[in-house]
Amino acid sequence: MLTRFKKWWQRAPAAQTQPLRRKQAAARGSAQLPVPITFGQLRLGAAQSSGLQRTSNEDALFANVEILGTAGSPAQTGLFVVADGVGGHRHGAQASALAVQTVAQAVVPALLAAQAGGGGVQSFDFHASLSAALGAANMAVFAAYPGSGTTVIAALVTGGRLHLAHVGDSRAMLVEAHGMRALTEDHTLVRRLQTAGHITAEQAAVHPQRSTLLRAVGQGEGLQVDSSSHAFEPGGRLLLCTDGLWGCVSDAELHQIILAAADPQAACVDMVNAANLAGGPDNISALLVHYVR
């Protein structure tokens, strides 16, 4: 059996989210899908906004779900990518779009090739594939838009496992019973200063250089990609988001919003709205994957 669901979205369409409570807080360029999307056990939601202080959206999203395996033992595999074009640089929107496109074009055919070869997803080298895909995106952006750049975080979900690769400060977080658990480390100047003990978490949150990236896709040769694997079992929720969300809304509030929402799509819309209520200084993207029981 081989059933393929093609890409869900790359950049969410322009449409207004639910009304916000603060005057002038209706987000320019905000977006939502009208209903939650379900592929087998994976239920997905996504929302974006340009924010209240930006006139364009330089974030990009991608989701693709495959059902790979024999008729007796199908294996559902999802690829999810979020990218945030580096603000203040030319071609940030083009860089993020090219990055997610390149990652998708590298990983999805490789998954299909593994299935066609008879080994199934069990024979697939997730870390090598994701790292190579981000490396390819890095060189593609470097060649097409020199001087630009983008963050990228890519997640592969299959067989009760979650495989991640990322560059920059877009984050992956697991939604657990008592809070949010970060699965990625920001590649930023303030995170390095905080890790070295030079500043506190409170100082990092308001540091004037908190958005300064030490790594970005598009920087050229020598880019280092971080990768990791984690358990992701039925009942689990994975949030991928840009700093326009996590930089404005606390982990505690994100956790509360996600658990209170009727479905992943409603949760994403509510999270984007919360970021705009907090001032919306940057583009905002949220992608939520719920592995239903």
pLDDT in tens, 176-234: 999 999 999 998 767 666 566 666 666 666 655 566 788 999 998 989 999 999 999 99
Residue closest to 162 by CA, chosen among 209, 229, 225:
229
How high is the pLDDT of residue 8?
41
The stretch 47-74 carries a mean pLDDT of 84
The stretch 88-93 carries a mean pLDDT of 80
pLDDT 10s digits, 270-281: 999 999 999 999
Average pLDDT, the chain: 82
Backbone region of residue 222 per phi and psi (left: phi > 0; alpha: psi in -120 to 50; beta: other values): left
pLDDT 10s digits, 138-187: 999 999 999 999 999 999 998 899 999 999 999 999 999 999 999 999 98
How high is the pLDDT of residue 128?
93
Q: What is the rounded CA–CA span in Å between residue 91 and residue 181?
A: 32
pTM: 0.85
Q: Which domain holds residue 41?
A: 2-291
Count: domains in the chain: 1
Q: What is the rounded CA–CA span in Å between residue 16 and residue 47?
A: 10
The stretch 96-109 carries a mean pLDDT of 96
Residue closest to 76 by CA, chosen among 63, 93, 59, 94:
63
Q: Return the ∠ at Cα 291 (arms to 244 and 18), rounded to 5°.
A: 40
CA-based R_g, the chain, Å:
18
CATH code: domain of residue 186: 3.60.40.10
